[in-house]
Amino acid sequence: MNVEFNQDQKLMQQSAREFAEKFVKPVAKKLDDTQEFPVELIQRAAELGFMGVAIPEEYGGAGMDSLSYTIMMEEIARYCGSTSVILSVNNSLVCGPLLKYGTEEQKQKWLTPLAKGEKLGCYGLTEPNAGSDCAGTKTNAVDKGDHWLLNGAKIFITNGSHADTALVFANTDPGKGNKGISCFIVDMKSPGFSVKPMHGKMGIRASGLSELVFEDVKVPKENLLGELHKGFKIAMTTLDGGRIGIAAQAIGLARGAFEEALQYSKERVQFGQAISNFQAIQFMLSDMGMKIDAARLLTQKAAWMKDMGQNYNQQASAAKLYASEIATWVTNRAIQIHGGYGYTNEYNVERYFRDARVCEIYEGTSEIQRLVVAANLLGR
Amino acid sequence: MKILVFADQKKGKVKKSSFEVLSEAVKLSTESGAEVHAALLGSGVKEQAGVLGHYGAKTVHVVDRPELATYINTPFVTAAKAVIDAVKPRLVLFPTSEGIKDYIPALVQKLDGAGITDCCKIRWTGNGVEIERPLMAAKARSTMESSHSLILLTCRAGSFETKEPNPSLKAEIVEHSVSFPDLKQIFKEVLAANTGKISLDEADVVIAAGRGVRDAEGLKLLEELADVMGAALGSTRAVVESGLVPATLQIGQTGKVINPTLYIGCGVSGAVQHTAGMGNSKVIVAINKDSEAPIFNIADYGLVGDLFKVVPLLIEAVKELKKNA
Amino acid sequence: MKIYVCCKQVPDVAMTIQIKDGKFISEGMNYVLNAYDASCVEEALVLKEKYGAEVTLVLIGDEAGKEALRKGLAMGADNAFHISDPALNNLGSQAAAKVLQAFFKGRDFDFILTGKQAQDSDMGLAGGILSGLLNLPYVTNAVGLDVQDKMIVVKRQGDEGVEVLHMPMPSLITCSNDMNDPRIPSLKGIMASKKKPMEQVSLTDLGLSADEVLKESQKSSLKSFGLPPARKAGAKIEGDAQTLVATLMEKLTKEAKVL
């Protein structure tokens, strides 16, 4: 067993780290304050190839592995949750299924510009009454002979405000539940397609979160992704891949907060000495570091299984579940170590906490992840 | 045995760093029984050679030639080598300047000597030297040893104690004639120092602006101080966030890590995020109204006062000092 | 044009430096391309884009050092030489210059770039010594570089300001990191760097004996590492502005001697 990164992965880590330190770190606080989508930053990320990390070079991607992708996600989330989730959606939720299920024509037309980062993608699954319960999807697509007619709405769509291409899950066979869902590639400039920005989020506030509304949107026939009525499977396998990215994001956020707390504990003097000399602080630090390490190994294992072509459904859920829960815990402890200062926005730890919290919710709540793990354990 | 100190000069005037190194050489000579010589290279510098005697040089070797009027490495290497060949010292000490840093490698190579730069402690071991020097951005120190037959060391400014000069001490002045080879490189010009802003992480003196500068007016005051001191301007995160200065000027955990000889924090409170980036400064001066500001815990000189009153006077005092220098 | 860039792999000094019993703890440190050398690579690539050039990297180091070379290749350099030999671990400036002298013997080039110093030793001698050994004109601490009429136009940060020099070809120039902002290797560049030529060079290939290198190493030796002395609170000065400034000037000139 080898737990050392290979040279590609080490170089990827350096590039992601340099990008994060040079461009993400200086703007992270401002992004959180203003809730503005970081257009320029994402352009830079695209130039470096961060929009299609694990997509083959022939389709405009970097042709790296899933493990490299987790490395990038961690390095960027270490400074900014918003930026990392924008990349995560384009990489795993949009490019991922286009690669896996797209026809050659679809890959050339849609995947290539997305993987190159010339275009930005978003993933339209969630609805007011349908999150992980895909069967409740109200958005519907009706076969009009030479096109599909799309109606309905999606909410909580990351990248929505600035995306060019959406993957939209719609009901194509009402009454069939999960077996009547199909996935469509939708050009967001299509007539009838509108986007309403959503504000007021607790964390990852610059992710372009939006509501997507479809009013008689004509979708060309050839834009059906995968087989008709088989969209549920696409949604579920896509989320498996996405979970690895979210796990890495949670680890990055936890690490960012942990590093700040570690540093602060060495500099903050109370009762005549650095607070890192106190056992109470030491115990917190050791647990924080340990949990981050454990979560990272779990996530790397899931990524490795994916790269090996193994079924990684259980490991992806376990990694996402554990990493997101420890991220909430670690970022919360980081605030505790900072004391009163940690509760103010003069320090970054409160932002890390707010950014981390959503990792337990999106791309499947912790409860859903437990069900997935249990289903695997029980062989159901 | 002989110790030879190369004095540094600016426009014919011997720089203070030279006296510091010469004082250290005198100290080393008492440990080693060595004779202390000094060397002065330049154009129109002969008149200044005598002062090196007051600091304990027995003999001052002078190369006073028009070829040395503007700094360019080849003639300085030639002149320095000629003096060393004539004096035959065991140990050669230099202050630090961009010119010396430039020409010392070639000198080490041509003399087949042992070269160590940026020494902050020097001890004579009996058959050579043991030195200490900062490295890894001054985050660590190393101890090195050399017992080579010719050792060339550059000294980190402010590391050694300068002795009071004794005007009754007179040195013998020896002029050396040197034949300079043709230059392969062509010197064009020196662009005025203030055209290129001094970079923060390289600067010897840094003026840091904290929240206390309040506005553009306050910042202008600090820019003026930086100008007269030949210093770089830096700032805390708060000042960057207020939009007064670009992010490239931020010192600290989220910014640049600096290690200047002199750091002057104006209106800087000293939050750990900032001090993480400047704690390696050799001398820290803090100017702050709040006598409880944490920066006073690490400042060598903490001025409790209003920067708007203190800085204008400081600018005048520095101007005065420069005029007399 | 043919440009060589001499590189070094160094510990990432932005990380916490740990020293135990006089030894530097390398475990847990990231090793990176020396930042000053990265500026050299960047500048060479800018000149390549402007005038056309072949950019070749040279590095002395162990197996791990290949990563630093691959970073330079990922940035856009054309090829690399990896000089590796058990006798060449932890070389000082003088020994490194000796090895590079042997490497450059018989090679044609227009100029050599190298960092003004390595971030681990901060010594700043190797480049100048190498130029002496190769009998090349050189200039250190360059902050700007261009080529005009077969001369290299160098801007150098000197004591009095920025000095402008015209250097003949071939020359050696050591670069400051103020020169530019090195590009971050793109993922495409990283993948492409795998296919670029990297040649292994041993001491024997250089026609150099371990003794010749040792002779240089022995001129000075590194005994131990330590941490800089910790900081203590100094004097708090109170009074009116005049008193404060007068006291400060007195202290800075007489006591601290930094003015």
- Quick check: A313 and A372 in contact, CB under 8 A? yes
Query: Is B193 a residue whose pLDDT tops 60?
Result: no
Strands A165-171 and A181-187 come out as: antiparallel
Those of residues 159-198 in B touching chain C at CB distance below 8 A are 162, 184-196
Arithmetic mean of pLDDT, B157-180: 92
The strand pairing partners of B153, in sequence order, are: B93, B116
Note which residues in 51-80 of chain A have CB less than 8 A from chain C. Answer: 53, 57, 62-64, 68
Q: Is the peptide bond before C170 cis (omega within 30 degrees of 0)?
A: yes
Confidence of residue C44 (pLDDT cuts 50, 70, 90): very high
What topology is assigned to A122-230 in CATH? Answer: Butyryl-CoA Dehydrogenase, subunit A; domain 2 (2.40.110)
pLDDT at B140 over 60: yes
A260: Cβ–Cβ under 8 A, 6 or more apart, which residues? A334, A338, A347, A348, A349, A352
Which residues of A make CB contacts under 8 Å with B? 25-26, 29, 263-264, 267-269, 347
What is residue B201's predicted lDDT score, i.e. its pLDDT? 65
What is the C-alpha R_g of chain C? Answer: 21
Which sequence positions of A are flagged as catalytic? 363
Provide the percentage of residues in chain A whose pLDDT is more than 90: 88
pLDDT of residue A376: 95
Residue with tokens 């289903």: A375
- Mean residue pLDDT across chain C: 94
Tens digit of pLDDT for each residue in A293-333? 999 999 999 999 999 999 999 999 999 999 999 999 999 99
Residues 6 or more apart whose CB falls under 8 angstroms from that of A16 comprise A50, A71, A72, A75, A76
Q: What is the mean pLDDT of residues C72-79?
A: 98
Q: Calculate how close chain C gets to B127, using CA atoms only, in Å.
A: 13
Q: Does position A174 have pLDDT exceeding 90, yes or no?
A: no
Tell me the one-letter amino acid at A39.
V
Percentage of residues in chain A with pLDDT exceeding 70? 100
Report the percentage of chain C scoring pLDDT > 90: 85
Using a CB-CB cut-off of 8 Å, the residues of chain B touching C158 are 71, 98-99, 102, 190
Task: Report the alpha-carbon distance of residue C243 to residue B191 in Å, rounded.
Answer: 38
The number of CA neighbours under 13 Å toward the Cβ of C104 is 32
Q: What is the pLDDT of residue C221?
A: 94
Residues 6+ apart with CB under 8 A from C106: none
| pLDDT at B274 > cutoff 90 | no
- Tens digit of each residue's pLDDT (9 = 90 or more) over B285-324: 999 998 878 899 899 999 999 999 999 999 999 999 988 8
Closest residue, chain C, to B202 (C-alpha): C178
What is the CATH T-level fold of the domain A232-377, as seen in this structure? Butyryl-CoA Dehydrogenase, subunit A; domain 3 (1.20.140)
pLDDT score, position B324: 82
Q: What are phi and psi of C117, to 5 degrees?
A: -165, 170
Backbone angles phi, psi at C207, to 5 degrees: 70, 35
Least-confidence region, from A212-221, C98-107, C112-121, C156-165: C156-165
H-helix or E-strand spanning residue A333: helix A313-342
As a whole number of Å, the CA-based R_g of chain B is 22
Task: Enumerate the domain spans of chain B.
Answer: 2-175, 193-324
Which of C43, C52, C22, C81 has its CA nearest to residue C201? C81
Contacts of C217 in chain B (CB under 8 A): none
Place of tokens 């690399």: C80
Rounded average pLDDT over B221-227: 94
SS percent in chain B: helix, strand, coil, step 5: 35, 30, 35
Please state, for a pLDDT cut of 90, what percent of chain B lies above it: 69
pLDDT value of residue B192: 56
Residue A182, pLDDT > 60, answer yes
Q: Which residues of B touch C120 (CB under 8 A)?
A: 135-136
What CATH number belongs to C2-217? 3.40.50.620
How far, in Å, CA of A154 to CA of A6, rounded?
Answer: 41
A10, closest residue in chain C (CA to CA): C67
What is the reported pLDDT for A71?
97
User: Which residue did the predictor score with more confidence, B202 or A123?
Assistant: A123
What pLDDT does residue B194 have? 40
Structurally, at CATH architecture level, domain B193-324 sits in: 3-Layer(aba) Sandwich (3.40)
Residue B254 reports pLDDT greater than 60: no
Checking DSSP bridges between strand B114-119 and strand A181-187, what pairing results, if any? unpaired
CB contact under 8 A, C125 and B106: no
Whether residue B275 and residue A267 make contact (CB cut-off 8 A), yes or no, is yes
With beta carbons under 8 A apart, name residues in chain B contacting A29.
Answer: 241
Strands C31-33 and C9-11: antiparallel
- A278 with A287: CB under 8 angstroms? no
Residue B195 in this model has a pLDDT that exceeds 60: no
Q: Does B294 touch chain C (CB under 8 A)?
A: no
3-class secondary structure, A153 = strand
Range with the poorest average pLDDT among C62-76, C118-132, C227-241: C227-241
CA dihedral A157, A161, A164, A169 (to 10 degrees): 20
Residue B1 C-beta-side C-alpha neighbours within 13 Å: 20
CATH no. for B2-175: 3.40.50.620
> Per-residue pLDDT tens for A190-202?
999 999 999 989 9
Size of the B and C interface in Cβ pairs below 8 Å: 265
Q: Find the mean pLDDT for residues C129-141.
A: 96
Pick from B241, B272, B297: CB nearest A264: B272
Q: Is the pLDDT of residue C1 over 80?
A: yes
Query: Looking at domain A7-120, which CATH architecture does it have?
Result: Orthogonal Bundle (1.10)
Mean pLDDT calculated for residue range C21-44: 95
Residue C60 clears pLDDT 50, i.e. is over it: yes
CB contact under 8 A, C228 and B139: yes
State the average pLDDT for chain B: 91
Strands ordered across the beta sheet of C198-201: B186-192, C161-167, C151-157, C138-148, C171-175, C111-115, C2-7, C54-60, C79-83, C198-201
pLDDT at B258: 79
Q: Say if the Cβ atoms of C187 and A19 lie within 8 Å.
A: no
pLDDT at B138 exceeding the cut of 80: no
Among the listed residues B46, B25, B27, the one whose alpha carbon sits nearest the alpha carbon of residue B36: B25
For residue range A5-39, list pLDDT tens digits in order: 999 999 999 999 999 999 999 899 999 999 999 99
**Confidence (pLDDT) at B197:** 62
Range scoring the smallest mean pLDDT among A110-119, A244-253, B86-95, B245-254 = B245-254
DSSP three-state, residue A4: coil
Contact B114 C138 (CB under 8 A): no
- Residue A138's pLDDT band, with cuts at 50, 70 and 90, is very high
* Per-residue pLDDT reduced to its tens digit, B9-64: 887 789 888 999 999 999 999 988 999 999 999 999 999 999 999 999 999 999 99
**Domain assignments of chain A as residue spans, ordered by start:** 7-120, 122-230, 232-377
> In sequence order, what DSSP letters do the residues of C182-245 get, joined into one string?
PPPPPHHHHHHHTTS-EEEE-TTTTT--HHHHHHHHTTSEEEEEEPPPPP---EEE-S-HHHHH
**Residue carrying the six token digits 């100094």:** C234
